[in-house]
Amino acid sequence: MCAIEAGKRRRRVLVLERADRIGKKILISGGGRCNFTNLHTAPDNFLSANPHFAKSALARYTPADFIRLVEKHGIAYHEKKLGQLFCDRASSDITAMLEQECREAGVEIRCTTKIKELKEDGQFTVQTEDAAFAAPSLIVATGGLSIAKIGATSFGYDLARQFGLKIVPPRAALVPLVFSERDRKRWCDLAGVSIEVIASTSSANRNPKHNTKAAFRENMLFTHRGISGPAILQVSSYWDGKDSICLDLAPGRGLGTELLTQGNRDPSSWKTLLREVVPRRFADRWLQIYPLAGNSDRALAAAERQLHGWELRPDEAEGYGKAEVTAGGVDTDELSAQTMEARKVRGLFFIGEVVDVTGQLGGFNFQWAWASGFCAGQAV
């Protein structure tokens, strides 16, 4: 995106790509159909040490702008849910579109190119294994540490440190969570069971830098090691690695009140109702571990609270191998919010996931990539 915009402005642009083809993360995203943006993109869909940093870029290049580009190329798409837009056919439609736009803008792309050294002496000189390139501007769009099997490395962070820029410590985000040994024994034979929940974290609620949308109503999935699914991936970005995850297992339902209205107080009625709300296998396991303690109003109220406020303390996150994105990155205090240029180093820009701006699940990280790339391309 940055190369396209710079090329349109008649800049001579060279893209050095480490992988054997462009956009590998685009190609594997969205189950191969690329969730390329979200209609409801707003600054509070992003996590950063500076929650205001992304506002300028997101306002200058919106989902509607990217949709116009998609429609210009005749790419069929659909909204899946919650504003998430996917290609009807394949993710490769998006990479083909970007390649065509690059060709039309006169951009040169070199794949399978590894950088050995980078120097700055009035201009930037990049030394690869077989050539050297010099330019007055350098844009770093190297992503984070997530999914090393498609080429993720720490190169962007190392480069930022080379020029004296601060880094917010990277960590895995949008990632499954691993249970403690006790909870694995209790729950992990339910692998494959999915439940609609509201997931939140106490750490997110305490931290003023985290936005107020850190509670997510989506599906949770039990795995052989812990929990995953959209609700858990979302809340993982806000989890501090120590506090508990809070799960509402019956969003919007008042089971105790429903039983009292029906005049039923016995445990069998509670079990029947619970089986209507959550999958039977989970309901039966839940009642083994948290049986109804009698038929009093107090017992029903306690059971209701437990169901709406189940607290789990994961041991850890799965790590970068299964994380969709990397939180943290180049400190936004080091960059211009309008251009993405480093304040200390003229002509040096950082865009996309390498920057400390992390989107929620659902196309937001791609929209940040397009928007930050657009802004740098307009300034370079």
Contacts of 257 (CB under 8 A, 6+ apart): 304
Q: Which of 317, 347, 367 is the last residue of a domain?
A: 317
Q: Do 347 and 259 share a structural domain?
A: no
Q: Do 48 and 155 share a structural domain?
A: yes
Please state, in angstroms and rounded to a whole number, the distance separating the CA atoms of residues 306 and 247. Answer: 9
Classified as helix, coil or strand, 347 is coil
| Tens digit of each residue's pLDDT, the chain (380 residues) | 999 999 999 999 999 999 999 999 999 999 999 999 999 999 999 999 999 999 999 999 999 999 999 999 999 999 999 999 999 999 999 999 999 999 999 999 999 999 999 999 999 999 999 999 999 999 999 999 999 999 999 999 999 999 999 999 999 999 999 999 999 999 999 999 999 999 999 765 545 454 445 899 999 999 999 999 999 999 999 999 999 999 999 999 988 778 777 766 677 888 998 999 999 999 999 999 999 888 788 888 899 999 999 999 999 999 999 999 999 999 999 999 999 999 999 999 999 999 999 999 999 999 999 999 999 999 99
DSSP 8-state symbol, 188: G
Q: Do 157 and 194 share a structural domain?
A: no
Q: Which of 265, 287, 317 is the last residue of a domain?
A: 317
Q: Which of 272, 298, 317 is the last residue of a domain?
A: 317
Please state, in angstroms and rounded to a whole number, the distance separating the CA atoms of residues 193 and 257. Answer: 27
The reported pLDDT for the residue numbered 204 is 53
Q: What angle do CA 121, 126, 127 make, to 5 degrees?
A: 120
Total count of domains within the chain = 2
Q: Check which CATH number belongs to the domain holding 351 and give it.
A: 3.50.50.60
Residues spanned by the domain of 247? 177-317
Q: Do 145 and 31 share a structural domain?
A: yes
Please state, in angstroms and rounded to a whole number, the distance separating the CA atoms of residues 59 and 67. Answer: 15
256-307 residue pLDDT tens: 778 777 766 677 888 998 999 999 999 999 999 999 888 788 888 899 999 9
Classified as helix, coil or strand, 132 is strand
Please state, in angstroms and rounded to a whole number, the distance separating the CA atoms of residues 337 and 333. Answer: 9
Q: Do 151 and 25 share a structural domain?
A: yes
Neighbouring CB atoms inside 10 A of 375's CB total 26
Q: Check which CATH number belongs to the domain holding 247 and give it.
A: 2.40.30.10
Q: Do 193 and 78 share a structural domain?
A: no
The reported pLDDT for the residue numbered 297 is 82
Burial (Cβ within 10 Å: 0-12, 13-18, ≥19) of residue 263: exposed
pTM: 0.93
Provide φ and ψ at 190, rounded to 5°. -90, 15
Say which residue the tokens 């993405």 belong to: 340
**Token pair recorded at residue 251:** 């969003």
Q: Do 131 and 194 share a structural domain?
A: no
- In this structure, are strands 84-87 and 108-110 parallel, antiparallel, or unpaired? unpaired
- In this structure, are strands 14-16 and 108-110 parallel, antiparallel, or unpaired? parallel
Dihedral of CA atoms 327, 329, 335, 338 in degrees, nearest 10, equals: -30
Q: Do 161 and 201 share a structural domain?
A: no
Q: Do 353 and 326 share a structural domain?
A: yes
User: One-letter amino acid identity for 324?
Assistant: E
Q: What angle do CA 227, 230, 234 make, to 5 degrees?
A: 90
Q: Do 311 and 267 share a structural domain?
A: yes
The reported pLDDT for the residue numbered 301 is 87
Q: Do 269 and 152 share a structural domain?
A: no
Q: Do 310 and 162 share a structural domain?
A: no
Q: Is residue 126 within 8 Å of 118, Cβ to Cβ?
A: yes
The reported pLDDT for the residue numbered 147 is 94
**Token pair recorded at residue 272:** 């029947």
The DSSP bridge partners found for residue 118 are 126
**Token pair recorded at residue 147:** 């999914």
